[in-house]
Structure 1
Amino acid sequence: MTDTLQRKPVSQVANSDCFTEESLSKLKEIMYEMRAEAGNHLFWEGDAADKLYFLKRGQVKITKASDEGKSFILYVYNTGDLFGQVDPFQNSVHSFNAEVTENSIIGVIQQKDLEVLLWQHGDLAVEFMKWMGLMHRMTQTKFRDLMMFGKPGALCSTLIRLCNTYGKNHGSEIVITKKLTNSELADMIGATRESVNRMLGDLKRANIIAMENNYIVVKDLPYLRDICQCENCPVDMCRI
C-alpha cells in the first residue's frame, strides 16, 4: 500500500441522490456559485438560516461547540452533498457552524427562491421532504450510537461510517482512504483524544483494525457492527 492510495477516486453516496436528475437540475438553476477557501466558515451558530448549500467540489464539516469550547463534528459533507438549515419559521438561526476544510466550489440556494420552486413543482417538493427525512434520520442514528453504546460503540459506529464514505476494498480488508488524526476522531464522538488513543489501541491488539502508512485498515467489520449493534442502515444514511 502506498501514499498514492489517497489520490484514487473513492465512490461516495451523495445525499443529493434523493433527487432525480431533473429535480437536481431545477435546483442548480436557482443557485449562485461561490468559492470558499479552506479554513473559512460558511455560517456560524446563531447566523440567519435562510440558505441551502450544494457542494460542487470540496469538503465542509458541520460542528457544534460546547460551553467549555469543545468542538463536536456532526457531519462531514463532500462533493454532491446538499446541506443547510431551512425552517418554515421566520428569523430562524443556525444551530451549528459550517467550516470549509478543503478549497471548495459551492452553489448557494436562497430560501425565497427555493420556496417558489417547491410551489411550482410538486414532485420536487416530495423529493425535498425525502431529503429532509434522510438528514433527520442520519442525526438520530448518530445520537443513538453516542447515547446507547457509549464511547466504544460510538467509535465503532464512526469507523463503519468512514468505511462507507471513504472505504476501498483491499482483499478481505477495508482501507479508509481519508487520513484522520485521533483528535478528529475524538471530535466526531465527543470524547478526548486520550480515550480514543486507548480504544484504538484495544482494537489493534484484538486485530480488529490496523494502521498502514497512517491509514486505518478495518480487518474485522462484523466485530465493529456487533459492538454498536448495527441495524444495517442504508449506505446513504450510514455515512460520516
Structure 2
Amino acid sequence: MSTPPPSSPPTGGVSVEVETLTAVFQVREIAADADPALCVLLAGSGGRWRLPGGAVAPDAPLDISARRAVGDTVEITRIAHLEQLAVFSDPDRVPGIRTIASTYLALVPTDAPTELAEDSAWHAVDDLPTLAYDHDQIVDAARHRLAAKLSYTNIAFALAPSRFPMSQLSEIYCAALGYPVDTTNLLRILSRRAVVVATGTVGKTGRSGGRPPALYAFADNRLRVTDEFATLRPPM
C-alpha cells in the first residue's frame, strides 16, 4: 500500500522564508592620504544600509542566489572567493514573516574593477553607518572569519592583485587583520609555506624613489590550508 502524500500545513502554521546575504569585502583606498582599508559593499534602504541579498531563487542553489543578489548591487568582473558563512535564524531578526538568512563571505581583488548600482557604496568596516536588522553582526562574523583564515590559509590571494610588491600585500594583511604586519616577516612566513613566489619582474618605483620593488604572485589561486598551527597572532 502506497504512503499517502503529506497533508497541507494546518491553518495558522508558521510561515518561514529564506534569504541570502553576502558580506563582500575589498581592500580599497578610501582617501588619498589614508592607508588602504577593508571595505564592505552596502546598499541604501529606508535610511539604513544593508548587505546585498534577497529571497532565494526557486531555480538555483543558495550560492548562485547569493551571487545573483550581489550582481544586482555591483558589477564585479571577478569574485575570487565565495564561501558560506553562517545561518542567522533568530525568530525576531526581522519584523513580519520569520526569515532565515544564509550568509556568505565574498572577496574581491584590489585590481578588479567594480561598477556600483546607484544606491550602493563601499564602506570601511571600521566606520560603518547604521545597518539594517542584524547586518552588523553578519559583517562582524565575516571579518573574523577572514582574519582567522589569513593565519592558516592562502585566502589573501582573493584580495590581492595578480602581481604585487610585498609592501602592498602587507597593507592588505594590515587592513584585513586590523593590526600592523611587518613586510619582511610576512615574506619570510609566506615563502616558507610556499604561498607566494617571486615573479622575476619588478614594479614601478614609489614616490620616494629608490630601487623598483620585486613583484610576487600567489602560488595558488584556490583556497588551501597552509599551516594548521597559525604563526600570525590571533586576530583582533
> TM-score surpassing 0.5?
no
Bigger Rg, which one: 2
Tell me the TM-score normalised to structure 2 length.
0.32
Tell me the TM-score normalised to structure 1 length.
0.31
